[in-house]
């Protein structure tokens, strides 16, 4: 979908900011929230924008982080009748990032690729699905060709060899509590992935929207300073006296600002000297008066020092205070976009693909067992799901074609 130049430019700014927000969220929580951040990402990546190499990298990293968020469940699929797990899909994003970043980050991407391949097998074994683990192992750890072996250096060959040997031992053991699985936890894998990508992330420029926000705050600060509506410490005054912001003003404006700053400094010095005199007075009174008098003087001194009055929350006509009125709020992003709390930016009923996890598949299987194949409307009402009858029908066909999944469902819920 083509857009005007202005729309493409604004969408580019929003994309850069969305990436920054998603990266910050993933770095702190090891996850990208499905109902807020990811909805917004899915919307912005479909909009026309000004394409640069940096933005191509950002889009691939965003997709990669979403795959990692889903990767802990080895039954997650992004397309019908596919055996490819979420982490195997993540490897495709690494392949797309590699030619964009060049040789500078080749080593960290290769380390990350090895880590993802290893974890793709371990998540299957961790779920006690060793048959699926064997299938993933065969797909990802095929013996490299002679040409690929020449490209790999000695260190990479040794790392791959060690990983293959350890994974084979885990699969042969059929033990989901194997020490190698416990050591290579999924949380540790996610933190390691952030470390691998940090060098690439740090090479990106600061998003334009954040630059403008910072500039706006600085300009607002300067306007308040010119009006004399804010007070500064001596350190802050000195900073403004020597900052580049003042040097860029006209000579007359700079002189007016320096005059205001000097008055602020003199007023502050007078206030400090008065406080010192009060402290001396209080100390003298302590030796001559009884115990109640110095307490009164001290309280007056504290009141003069602080110069503040306790403010009470504003009350509206209905008797609810500011603090109480904000207790039940929907997501700020949804409120700005005029959406209800339970809605999403991309309506799941209108094309958004939400992957099936094992719990949802198990509940679906139980309802099919209860109501019979073909009664999709009744099953849909029982599940209270947003998925359509056609999607339920496709999912049932996908379950029947997935031998490892249907075997697990038979074992847990019984055969039809």
pLDDT value, residue 178: 93
Inside any domain, residue 103: yes
CA distance 66 to 344: 17
Among 280, 109, 309, residue whose Cα is nearest residue 198: 109
Inside any domain, residue 104: yes
The residue range of the domain holding 401 is 353-413
* 207 and 13 Cβ atoms separated by less than 8 Å: yes
The model carries a pTM of 0.54
pLDDT value, residue 55: 92
Give the CA radius of gyration of the chain: 31
Taking only the tens place, the pLDDT of each residue in 62-81 is: 999 999 999 999 999 888 88
Inside any domain, residue 194: yes
Taking only the tens place, the pLDDT of each residue in 130-184 is: 999 999 999 998 765 544 444 445 545 556 788 899 999 999 999 999 999 999 9
**Residue 167 burial (C-beta neighbours within 10 Å; 0-12, 13-18, 19+):** buried
Half-sphere exposure of 206 (CA within 13 A, CB side): 7
Helices 5-29 and 37-44, axial angle in degrees (round to 10): 150
The CATH number of whichever domain residue 16 belongs to comes to 1.25.40.210
Q: Lowest-pLDDT range, 107-116, 139-148, 297-306, 321-330?
A: 321-330
**Residue 92 burial (C-beta neighbours within 10 Å; 0-12, 13-18, 19+):** middle
Q: What is the DSSP letter of 319?
A: S
Inside any domain, residue 40: yes
Taking only the tens place, the pLDDT of each residue in 384-410 is: 888 888 889 989 989 988 888 888 888
The CATH number of whichever domain residue 396 belongs to comes to 1.10.10.60
Inside any domain, residue 204: yes
Inside any domain, residue 102: yes
Domain boundary among 166, 188, 208: 208
Between 161 and 333, the higher pLDDT residue? 161
The total domain count for the chain is: 2
- Residue count (the chain): 416
Domain boundary among 164, 193, 208: 208
Inside any domain, residue 44: yes
Average pLDDT, the chain: 76
Alpha-carbon distances of 42 from 62, 117, 187, rounded to whole Å: 10, 26, 25
Inside any domain, residue 280: no
């Amino acid at each position: 979908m083509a857009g005007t130049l202005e729309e493409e430019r604004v969408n580019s700014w929003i994309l850069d900011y969305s990436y920054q927000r998603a990266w910050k969220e993933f770095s702190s929580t090891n996850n990208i929230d499905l109902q807020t951040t990811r909805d917004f990402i899915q919307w912005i990546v479909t909009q026309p924008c000004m394409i640069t190499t940096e933005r191509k990298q950002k889009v691939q990293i965003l997709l990669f982080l979403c795959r990692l968020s889903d990767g802990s469940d080895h039954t997650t699929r992004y397309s019908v009748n596919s055996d490819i797990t979420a982490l195997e899909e993540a490897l495709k994003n690494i392949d797309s990032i590699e030619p964009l970043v060049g040789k500078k980050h080749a080593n960290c991407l290769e380390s990350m690729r090895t880590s993802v391949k290893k974890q793709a097998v371990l998540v299957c074994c961790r779920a006690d699905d060793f048959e699926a683990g064997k299938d993933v192992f065969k797909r990802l750890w095929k013996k490299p060709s002679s040409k690929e072996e020449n490209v790999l250096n000695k260190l990479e060959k040794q790392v791959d060899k060690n990983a293959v040997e350890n994974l084979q031992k885990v699969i042969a053991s059929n033990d989901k509590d194997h020490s190698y699985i416990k050591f290579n936890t999924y949380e540790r894998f996610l933190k390691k992935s952030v470390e691998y990508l940090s060098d690439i992330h740090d090479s990106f420029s600061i998003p334009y929207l954040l630059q403008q926000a910072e500039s706006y705050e600085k300009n607002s600060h300067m306007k308040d300073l010119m009006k004399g509506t804010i007070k500064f410490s001596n350190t802050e005054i000195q900073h403004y006296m020597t900052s580049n912001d003042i040097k860029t003003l006209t000579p007359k404006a700079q002189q007016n600002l320096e005059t205001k700053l000097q008055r602020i400094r003199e007023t502050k010095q007078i206030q400090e000297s008065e406080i010192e005199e009060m402290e001396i007075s209080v100390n003298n009174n302590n030796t001559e008066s009884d115990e109640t008098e110095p307490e009164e003087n001290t309280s007056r001194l504290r009141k003069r020092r602080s110069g503040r009055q306790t403010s009470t929350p504003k009350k509206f006509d209905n008797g609810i205070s500011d603090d109480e009125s904000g207790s039940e709020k929907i997501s700020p992003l949804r409120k700005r976009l005029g959406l209800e709390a339970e809605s999403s930016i991309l309506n799941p009923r209108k094309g958004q693909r939400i992957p099936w996890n094992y719990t949802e598949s198990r509940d679906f299987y139980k309802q099919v067992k209860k109501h019979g194949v073909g009664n999709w409307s009744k099953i849909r009402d029982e599940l209270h799901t947003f998925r359509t009858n056609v999607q339920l029908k496709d999912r049932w066909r996908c379950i029947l074609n997935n031998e490892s999944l249907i075997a697990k469902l038979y074992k847990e819920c019984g055969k039809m």
